[in-house]
């Protein structure tokens, strides 16, 4: 019963979610209750030794400490802290005026002097309150003896009362330090338990995500398959998290090699879940419906993805941006000669030497019409085929995706990618890398083999990012004809 009442009074005004203040509020409540108990125990001693003259002062002291509990119960925690320190110091000061300065009452301020350190973290608050208590101490020590006491207490009575006052001061000091240490240990144990629980949960979640990575890796084409159909190529794949919303895709159908770089909504686990749906849509479009033209594949994939998400009771607007290519083998040379491309927000870049010769005048004319967006250096030009400005997924107005056809030349380099590389923040001013710098980088490394290009592109990304966080998944596919 007593313990239950003690716990209830100690937790007045405590909010479980306010971990920063919880410890201070409990300690302040305990000090308030303990002070009231000490005063009530001292009143009978006061009456026996000195009569009823100072009982009103003791009762006023009890009321003041009760006010601390009242302030905390209304959750005026900061006000209660200030009130406990200022009123405690003033109470001892006023008591000294009442009984005179011969009682060494300045030492009763020692427990009050500790309170700013126990209740506050802000250096200015601690300093100001400590200076206030110190000023009261020195005033009592050097000036109070000159004042005339309001109540005359015989020296014999003072000598009898003083040991009890000293005992109360020592008990108060012990109580403050004991419960401060006890509460600290309790909170440290609780913190350790919470830390252990968080670590266990984190381990479980991480293990689940790592297993999800194995599943996601299973839907990505293996390197052996990529090299079988795209021997002179590279894939730079850098998930932001363990699993990714970006993925690459490859399929061989009717003499055509289909490959894509896709960026699904989000990254991490949500992005990875969307990527499974979108990857399945691409597979079904080719394997189940037999499509090989990029524009038609994207049309069917969009239809499948929307149908899958419509099964949800809540509206799902997720989807993906993608660049999808189809390489056809020339029947005469056995080399890849025609490239078909369709894109949902993600473009295609082709880098070609200025010295490359087209087979015919009509071919030159066709390429001028189809590939007007060019960036050049002294040796190479970068030709950009823009994507349709609509994602794979729900959109305001869904239109058929455009299939672009480009005649390739020997030595042409093809690049498709997601937006994570160009959007990465870094450099001296922590700005985005941007597509323009990405184009310049690709143009500058055309003399390098594709695998070496991958290393340079990756290292440039790391150097640019520096110590900043990777903001998105990165997926880049490069193919040289």
- Cβ atoms of 480 and 421 within 8 Å: the answer is no
pLDDT at residue 463 tops 60:
yes
Percent residues over pLDDT 70 in the chain: 92
pLDDT at residue 224 tops 80:
yes
Of 84-98, 266-280, 346-360, the least confident = 346-360
Mean pLDDT computed over every residue of the chain: 87
Burial 45-84 (b: 16+ CB within 10 A, else e): ebeebbeeebeebbeebbebbeebbebbeebebeebbbbb
Task: Label residue 462 exposed, middle or buried (CB < 10 Å: 0-12, 13-18, 19+).
Answer: exposed
pLDDT of residue 68: 93
Torsional sign, CA 335, 338, 344, 347 = positive
- Cα torsion 365, 369, 370, 373 to 10°: value is 120
pLDDT of residue 54: 81
Q: Stretch 208-212: mean pLDDT, rounded?
A: 87
Smallest CA-to-CA distance from 59 within 93, 86, 85, 95 is with 95
- Cα torsion 387, 393, 396, 402 to 10°: value is 30
Q: Stretch 276-301: mean pLDDT, rounded?
A: 95
Q: How many CB atoms lie within 10 A of CB 44?
A: 10
Residues in the chain: 481
Pick the residue with more confidence: 311 or 131? 131
- List the 336-344 sheet strands across, edge first: 246-253, 256-264, 320-329, 336-344, 404-407
pLDDT-derived band at 103 (thresholds 50, 70, 90) equals low
Of 177-181, 240-244, 257-261, 368-372, the least confident = 368-372
Of 21-35, 56-70, 182-196, 334-348, the least confident = 182-196
pLDDT at residue 263 tops 70:
yes
pLDDT at residue 358 tops 60:
no
Q: Stretch 459-468: mean pLDDT, rounded?
A: 96
Q: Stretch 274-295: mean pLDDT, rounded?
A: 95
pLDDT of residue 335: 65
Burial 361-374 (b: 16+ CB within 10 A, else e): eeeeeebeeebeee
Q: pLDDT of 133-159, one tens digit each?
A: 999 998 888 876 667 777 777 777 777
- Cβ atoms of 365 and 395 within 8 Å: the answer is no
Query: How far apart are alpha carbons 260 and 321 in whole angstroms?
Result: 10
Percent residues over pLDDT 90 in the chain: 51
Q: Stretch 398-426: mean pLDDT, rounded?
A: 95
Smallest CA-to-CA distance from 218 within 266, 274, 276 is with 276
- Cα torsion 350, 277, 293, 338 to 10°: value is 30
pLDDT-derived band at 359 (thresholds 50, 70, 90) equals very low
């Amino acid at each position: 019963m007593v313990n239950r009442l003690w716990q209830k009074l100690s937790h007045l005004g405590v909010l479980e979610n306010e971990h920063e203040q919880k410890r201070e509020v409990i300690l302040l409540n305990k000090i308030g209750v303990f002070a009231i108990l000490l005063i009530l125990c001292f009143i009978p001693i006061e009456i026996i030794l000195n009569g009823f003259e100072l009982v009103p002062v003791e009762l006023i002291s009890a009321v003041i400490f009760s006010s601390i509990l009242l302030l905390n119960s209304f959750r005026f925690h900061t006000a209660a802290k200030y009130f406990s320190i200022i009123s405690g110091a003033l109470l001892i000061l006023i008591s000294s005026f009442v009984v005179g300065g011969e009682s060494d009452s300045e030492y009763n301020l020692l427990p009050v002097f500790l309170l700013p350190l126990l209740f506050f973290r802000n250096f200015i608050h601690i300093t100001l309150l400590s200076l206030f208590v110190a000023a009261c101490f020195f005033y009592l020590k050097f000036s109070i003896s000159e004042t005339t006491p309001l109540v005359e207490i015989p020296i014999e009575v003072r000598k009898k009362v003083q040991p009890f006052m000293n005992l109360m001061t020592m008990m108060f000091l012990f109580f403050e330090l004991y419960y401060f240490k006890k509460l600290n240990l309790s909170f440290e144990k609780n913190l350790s338990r919470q830390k252990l629980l968080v670590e266990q949960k984190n381990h479980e979640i991480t293990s689940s995500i790592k297993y999800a990575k194995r599943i996601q890796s299973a839907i990505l084409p293996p390197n052996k398959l990529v090299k079988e159909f795209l021997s002179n190529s590279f894939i730079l794949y850098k998930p932001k998290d363990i699993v990714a919303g970006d993925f690459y895709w490859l399929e061989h159908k009717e003499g055509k090699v289909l490959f894509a770089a896709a960026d699904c909504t989000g990254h991490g686990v949500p992005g990875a879940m969307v990527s499974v749906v979108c990857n399945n849509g691409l597979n079904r479009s080719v394997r189940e419906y037999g499509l090989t033209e990029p524009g038609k594949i994207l049309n069917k994939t969009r239809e499948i993805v929307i149908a899958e998400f419509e099964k949800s009771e809540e509206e799902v607007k997720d989807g993906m941006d993608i660049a999808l290519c189809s390489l056809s083998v020339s029947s005469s040379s056995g080399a890849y000669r025609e490239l078909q491309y369709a894109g949902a927000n993600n473009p295609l870049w082709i880098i070609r030497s200025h010295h490359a010769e087209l087979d015919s005048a009509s071919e030159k004319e066709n390429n001028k019409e189809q590939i007007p967006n060019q960036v050049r250096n002294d040796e190479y030009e970068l030709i950009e085929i823009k994507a349709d400005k609509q994602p794979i997924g729900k959109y305001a107005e869904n239109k058929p995706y455009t299939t672009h056809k480009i005649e390739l030349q020997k030595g042409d380099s093809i690049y498709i990618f997601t937006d994570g590389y160009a959007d990465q923040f870094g450099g001296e001013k922590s700005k985005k890398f941007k597509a323009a710098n990405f184009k310049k980088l690709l143009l500058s490394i055309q003399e390098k083999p594709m695998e070496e290009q991958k290393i340079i592109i990756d290292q440039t990304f790391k150097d640019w990012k520096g110590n900043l966080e990777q903001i998105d998944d990165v997926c880049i596919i490069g193919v040289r004809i």
